[in-house]
């Protein structure tokens, strides 16, 4: 199947593939810039993005906000001006400040999940920055679209539907996430798309729908498009690329992981997450790890009550401390078996099996 470009307002993305934002530090300027340079839409995750900045220990928020601007600029240099987006979790402490920092740096699009970005239109104002909520159910889609219409007389520029096979935090109960079948979820995707179509009519404009979670190859992309989607968001597959911003050991953990190494864990964010069952996960299942230092990363987190500090666990992971870190993965991580680069991966996704790698 020939994939059509993704049109988001005046932004044109050559291939309808968005690289999902991955915190902490997994998708920053190098990965996102490379994806955009190769015809997709690269997404930087702002979650603790400044973790390796010299002033992070002193004032993590100031370091993060500075790093947001820096990474957007670097990504746009790499992409040679092609659109680049950010992913900002609604649960982030001082969420509006991150939105403003991204808009100021000239980001082209903001995708927000881990909560409903009810006030996002207000924070981006009339900057022209494209905005998209991440939803996992028809109910959430309707709530978002109705809320934005009522309060701001506007609608989403695009919408991301994230299913139960995604990596990182999941918009489902821990029970449901493992029970829902692909067929059932395809039905939900259909319902969400119908809801979005109502809003397209009301606003006389196209609202592209992007499907995420467990998309592995060209065939999966075609399947999402056959359901009525305009594009896909893929995250896990981009980890085992040369350009991914994580430590080499993190990428190797993905390559080595088998299907049975994946587990649903509870996160201080208050949502279940999908991660590798490593020494860290086994430890927190037995007893909570006291939080020795709070990074004030989440709007709602009580360090005295949570089973572990998610910022510390994710920073350990991105730095390559594979046993003491929390390694978020998508359900299909077991199918990733080799290292590649963004160009070859994009070509494989776009063309299917006949893709001929340029090098390696
Ligand atoms: C390591 C990792 C970190 C992630 N971090 C975030 C994040 O910070 N914010 C977010 O909205 N989604 C996050 N996600 C979800 C992805 O953006 C994406 O929607 C999802 O993983 C898609 O499924 P796939 O990995 O099967 O392609 C993360 C996923 C992974 C694997």
- Mind listing the pLDDT tens digit for each residue in 202-236? 999 999 999 999 999 999 999 999 999 999 999 99
pLDDT value for 355: 54
CA 244 / ligand 1 centre spacing (Å):
13
| Pocket residue to mutate for ligand 1, from 168, 231, 234, most atoms within 8 A of Cβ | 168
CA 327 / ligand 1 centre spacing (Å):
11
CB < 8 Å & 24+ apart, contacts of 306-315: 306/268, 307/266, 307/268, 308/268, 308/284, 309/268, 310/267, 310/268, 310/269, 311/24, 311/48, 311/51, 313/280, 314/23, 314/24, 314/25, 314/47, 314/48, 315/24, 315/25, 315/48, 315/51
The answer on 165 and 312 residing in a single domain is no
Q: For residues 354 and 342, is the Cβ–Cβ distance under 8 A? A: no
Ligand 1 atom closest to 331 (CA): 26
The answer on 256 and 204 residing in a single domain is no
CA 233 / ligand 1 centre spacing (Å):
9
Rounded CA gap, 21 and 45, in Å?
A: 5
Rounded CA gap, 44 and 275, in Å?
A: 20
Question: Across the strands, what pairs with 210?
Answer: 160, 231
The answer on 85 and 52 residing in a single domain is yes
Pairing of strands 130-135, 159-162: parallel
Does residue 271 carry a pLDDT above 60?
yes
Ligand 1 atom closest to 45 (CA): 8
Q: Establish if 332 belongs to a structural domain.
A: no
DSSP at 238? G
Q: pLDDT tens digit string along 6-41?
A: 999 999 999 999 999 999 999 999 999 999 999 999
Ligand 1 atom closest to 327 (CA): 1
The answer on 232 and 154 residing in a single domain is yes
CA 273 / ligand 1 centre spacing (Å):
10
Q: Which residues line ligand 1 (CB under 6 A)?
A: 20-23, 26, 45, 47, 87, 89, 113-114, 134, 162, 165-168, 212-215, 233-236, 328-330, 332
Q: Establish if 1 belongs to a structural domain.
A: no
Atom 21 in ligand 1: which residue has the minimum CA distance? Answer: 167
Q: Establish if 323 belongs to a structural domain.
A: no
Total count of domains within the chain: 2
pLDDT value for 357: 58
Confidence class for position 269, pLDDT limits 50, 70, 90:
confident
Q: Establish if 230 belongs to a structural domain.
A: yes
CA 51 / ligand 1 centre spacing (Å):
18
Ligand 1 atom closest to 237 (CA): 27
Average pLDDT in the 302-324 region?
95
Strand order in the sheet with 130-135: 17-19, 231-234, 209-212, 159-162, 130-135, 109-112, 84-87, 42-45
pTM of this prediction?
Answer: 0.97
CA 212 / ligand 1 centre spacing (Å):
9
CA 330 / ligand 1 centre spacing (Å):
7
Average pLDDT in the 34-63 region?
97
The answer on 90 and 52 residing in a single domain is yes
CA 210 / ligand 1 centre spacing (Å):
14
The answer on 203 and 67 residing in a single domain is yes
CA 234 / ligand 1 centre spacing (Å):
8
**Which CATH number does the domain housing residue 180 bear?**
3.20.20.70
Rounded CA gap, 330 and 315, in Å?
A: 18
The answer on 277 and 239 residing in a single domain is no
Residues 6+ apart with CB under 8 A from 304: 291
Pairing of strands 231-234, 17-19: parallel
Average pLDDT in the 168-193 region?
95
Ligand 1 atom closest to 21 (CA): 17
Q: What are phi and psi of 54, to 5 degrees?
A: -60, -35
Ligand 1 atom closest to 113 (CA): 11
Does residue 270 carry a pLDDT above 90?
no
Residue 147 Ramachandran class (φ > 0 left, ψ -120 to 50 alpha, else beta): alpha
Pairing of strands 42-45, 17-19: unpaired
Closest-CA residue to 138 (of 205, 88, 86, 184): 184
* 320 burial via Cβ count (<10 Å: 0-12, 13-18, 19+): middle
Q: Establish if 13 belongs to a structural domain.
A: yes
Q: pLDDT tens digit string along 63-105?
A: 999 999 999 999 999 999 999 999 999 999 999 999 999 999 9
The answer on 259 and 222 residing in a single domain is no
The answer on 253 and 221 residing in a single domain is no
DSSP at 21? P
Q: Establish if 329 belongs to a structural domain.
A: no
The answer on 290 and 235 residing in a single domain is no
The answer on 260 and 133 residing in a single domain is no
Q: For residues 283 and 289, is the Cβ–Cβ distance under 8 A? A: yes
Share of the chain above pLDDT 90, in %: 91
Q: Establish if 301 belongs to a structural domain.
A: yes
Structural domain for 303, as ranges? 249-318
Closest-CA residue to 2 (of 225, 258, 296): 225
| Tokens standing for residue 248 | 């080499």
Q: For residues 87 and 45, is the Cβ–Cβ distance under 8 A? A: yes
Q: Establish if 126 belongs to a structural domain.
A: yes
Atom 11 in ligand 1: which residue has the minimum CA distance? Answer: 113
pLDDT value for 118: 97
The answer on 271 and 138 residing in a single domain is no
């Amino acid at each position: 199947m020939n994939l059509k470009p993704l049109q988001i307002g005046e932004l044109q993305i050559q291939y309808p593939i968005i690289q999902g934002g991955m915190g902490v530090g997994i998708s920053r300027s190098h990965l996102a810039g490379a994806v955009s340079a190769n015809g997709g839409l690269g997404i930087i995750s702002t979650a603790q993005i400044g973790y390796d900045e010299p002033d992070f220990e002193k004032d993590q928020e100031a370091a993060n906000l500075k790093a947001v601007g820096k990474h957007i600029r670097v990504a746009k240099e790499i992409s040679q001006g092609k659109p680049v987006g950010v992913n900002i979790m609604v649960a982030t402490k001082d969420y509006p400040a991150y939105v403003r920092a991204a808009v100021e740096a000239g980001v082209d699009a903001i995708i927000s999940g881990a909560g409903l970005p009810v006030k996002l239109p207000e924070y981006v104002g009339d900057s022209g920055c494209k905005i998209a909520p991440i939803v996992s159910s028809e109910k959430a889609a309707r709530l978002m679209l109705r809320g934005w219409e009522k309060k701001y007389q506007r609608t989403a520029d695009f919408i991301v539907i994230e299913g139960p096979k995604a990596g990182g935090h999941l918009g489902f109960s821990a029970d449901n996430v493992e029970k829902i079948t692909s067929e059932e979820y395809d039905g939900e995707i259909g319902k969400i798309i119908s809801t979005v179509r109502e809003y397209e009519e009301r606003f006389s404009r196209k609202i592209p729908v992007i499907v995420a979670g467990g998309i592995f190859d060209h065939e999966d992309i075609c399947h999402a498009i056959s359901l009525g989607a305009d594009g896909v968001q893929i995250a896990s597959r981009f980890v085992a690329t040369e350009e991914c911003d994580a430590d080499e050991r993190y990428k190797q953990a993905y390559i080595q992981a088998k299907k049975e190494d994946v587990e649903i864990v509870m996160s201080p964010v208050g949502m279940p997450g999908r991660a590798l069952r490593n020494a860290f996960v086994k430890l927190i299942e037995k007893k909570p790890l006291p939080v020795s230092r709070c990074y004030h990363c989440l709007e709602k987190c009580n360090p005295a009550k949570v089973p572990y500090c998610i910022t510390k666990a994710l920073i350990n992971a991105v730095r390559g401390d594979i046993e003491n870190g929390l390694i978020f993965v998508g359900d299909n991580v077991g199918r990733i078996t080799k290292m590649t680069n963004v160009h070859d991966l994009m070509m494989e996704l776009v063309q299917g099996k006949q893709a001929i790698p340029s090098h390696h």
